[in-house]
Amino acid sequence: MVSALLTQVTFLICLVLFVRLFTYRRGASRFRRGVSCLAALVMGCAGSTVIYILTGDLRVPAMAWPLVVLLAVLAWAIWQSGGNLAGVFRSSDWDGVERRRHERRTGSVR
């Protein structure tokens, strides 16, 4: 029972994750090859999960609920950033200009 529910939830989360990353439009955002490759990897994993669940090759065990929660948090963060995977890792209140000002004031460099 729990396994079937977790499998359905995983299917929906991976489907949303794949579609959101697939429909992302860069616009004026800067192109970053590393982030683009990471987004392609995440899309490939989410898409293959959807296919495996549809073919019956994947059932999420009941003990894997923390992974489903982690997947849901990742999907929520990507959705909130508008599909921009780089936006998931970017802090909204600490940009590069502010960091450089702080380094100049304190004399510390990371």
**Strands (E) located in the chain:** none
Q: What is the pTM of this model?
A: 0.77
pLDDT digits (tens, 9 = 90+) for 24-50: 888 877 888 988 999 999 999 999 999
Average pLDDT over residues 86-97: 70
pLDDT > 60? residue 110? no
pLDDT digits (tens, 9 = 90+) for 44-75: 999 999 999 999 999 999 999 999 999 999 99
pLDDT > 70? residue 96? no
Distance (Å, whole) CA 28 – CA 38: 20
